[in-house]
Amino acid sequence: MAEIIPPDIKKDLKKAIFLHQRASADHQKCQEFNKLMSELLSRLEDAGCNKTADKVMGILLDCNPKAGASCDKAVITAEKMKKF
């Protein structure tokens, strides 16, 4: 049975996808992406969307913004984001 993701969460997932496309070259956007995904994880869990929450958790495990450093897992994260 497919999960029914609330519209406001879908909207923010789309925002996160767009944000990640810009984040690999901008540390501030990377931090914003990480924060948004953390918030989405909590909201998805509260909404009972555990399958999607697991996907977000997998992305967060690879996402570790560091000041002054490029993201070494940007490609992996981008591939995972495409699955949304």
Sort 80 into a burial class: Cβ within 10 Å, 0-12 / 13-18 / 19+.
middle
Q: Which long-range contacts (CB under 8 A, 24 or more apart) does 57-64 make?
A: 60/34, 63/30, 63/33, 63/34, 63/37, 64/34
Residue 70 has pLDDT above 80, yes or no: no
The total number of structural domains in the chain stands at 1
Instruction: State the residue range of the domain holding 68.
Output: 7-82
The pLDDT value recorded for residue 47 is 96
Of 26, 44, 37, nearest to 77 (Cα)?
37
Q: Is residue 46 part of a domain?
A: yes
Query: Does residue 38 belong to any structural domain of this protein?
Result: yes
* Mean pLDDT confidence for 23-48: 89
Q: What's the predicted TM-score (pTM) here?
A: 0.81
Distance CA 39, CA 44 (A): 9
